[in-house]
Structure 1
C-alpha cells in the first residue's frame, strides 16, 4: 500500500509549505516543510533528489536558544539525518518522511507533517518513429526507452497487433512479423512512483519491399497548380532510388523525373500516378488519383 500524507491536529499547508502546531498552556509554535514538489498526480510530494527544509516558526514566546532536528520515516529515525535539511534518496521511494523539532527551553517536541517520497514523474523526450517492416522478415526490436526521460522507469505495451512484447525494465520492444500483413497503433507507457506517461507509434507490416504514396493531395485529388510529392514507405532497409517517373493515365509524362511535380493544367480530367524504381528491390507504382 502506498503511503499517504500524514495529518495531525493543527497542521496546514499552502503552496509548497506544510507545518504542524504544538500547543501547551504556556508554549506553542509551528513546524514547516519547504521544498515539496507539486506532483500532477499526487499533489505535494517529497521528490527524490530535491532538498527539503524544516523550520520552526510562530513561537508563542521568546524563540528558543537552539533547535535540534531529526528526520524520520516509517521505520523511525533516519540515520544521520539530523540537520534542518534532508534530501530524499532512492531508498526512500514510496516511504514517508517528516522532521521532528527538539527546541530548547520550555517548548515541546513536535513532528512535522509526513509526505510520501516519489521520483520525478517521467516525461516524453522524443516522439517514437513509426515502424515499417516486411512480413516474414523476422522479429524487429525497437528501443522505446529513447522516447522517454526519467529515473527508475518500467515500460508496458498496448495495441491490437499480434506478436508484441516489451522488456519492462529496459523498454526494448519486439515486433514479430510472422503474423502476416497488418497495421495498427502501439502505445508505450513509462512509469515510476511519480506517475505515468504514454506515447503512440504506428507499426505497419507490409507484403512488398516498399510502397509509393503521393503527398500534397487535397481530399484524394491532385489540384491544378499544386505540388505533389512521391513518398516512399520502406518495409526493407532503405534502397537506392534509380529513377522516378510521373504518369498521366498510366503513360510517362516526358521530363518529369523529380520527386516533386507541379500539376500542369493539361492534366485536368486525367489521373495521376508515380513509379519509383530502385536498384535492388524493383519498381512500384502508386495508386492513381484524379486531377481537378
Structure 2
C-alpha cells in the first residue's frame, strides 16, 4: 500500500533563530537573511484564477509577493502597488508574473498620499482593461516601546496607510467591480492579541477586521465577497523595517504553537481560495494563519 505524504509542520521552512539585522526604510526582501519563502520555487498553479484582473497593494515582498506569484500562476494578470524605493523587489515579482505568462503592471505609490488610491485604480483599469479582485495588503508597522514615545504623526500615517487607504481603494474600485468579484484584506493576529509595542499598528488591524465584516454586509447584494486573512508572525521585510525590537528578532515567531515563524508561501493558498470561485459561499470571514494563535471578534 502506498504511504501518505505527510510533513511535520514544525519542521517546515526555517526553524532556527534569525540573525540580528535591520535595514533603513524601505526594507528590501532581497537583503534579508534568510530570504522569505514566497513560493517562488514551490507554488504550482491549477488554473483557479484564469484571466482575473487583480490589484495587490504591498505586492513587492512578503505576503503580497507570495499572493502575486500564486495569482499569476493561477492565471491572473496583476497590478502591483509598492512603496517607492522598493523597485528592486518589485522587478523580481514582475519577472515571476511574466514567467507565468501573465501581465504585470508595476505601480509605485505612497499610500500616505490621499490621491494614490484613485490613481492606482485608474491605472489598473487602463492597463488591465478591468478589475475584479482587490488584495488590500499594504501596511506600516513601527515598534515603539511606550505611548509616550509614540509620535502622533506616526499614528496618523499608520492609520492612513493601513486602513484609510482601504476605504479609499474600495470607493475608487467599486464602480468597476462586477458581481463575482472578491475583496481580500490583510488584518493580523495583532487585531485580536495585540503586542504592547505595536499599539498603533494593532489598532489599525482591529479596524481592518471590523471593516472587512461590515463591508461584506454592504456588498453582498452586489455579488461581491469580502474576506480577510489574519497572519501571525510571518517572516517579511516589515519585521526588519523597525517592525520589531531588534533584540527580539532572533526569537521571532518561536513562541508559536508550531515553534517557528511562518513564511509568506504558507498564506498564498488562502488568498487564492478566497479570490476563487471555490469560495462562492464565503464572505464576511477572517481566516487565521497564525501558527496556532487564536483569533476571534
Fold agreement, TM-score > 0.5: no
Give the TM-score range, shorter chain.
under 0.3
| Structure with greater strand share of residues | 1
TM-score (norm 2): 0.21
Give me the TM-score of the superposition, normalised by structure 1: 0.21
Task: Determine which structure has more spread, i.e. the larger CA radius of gyration.
Answer: 1
Q: Which has the higher helix share?
A: 2
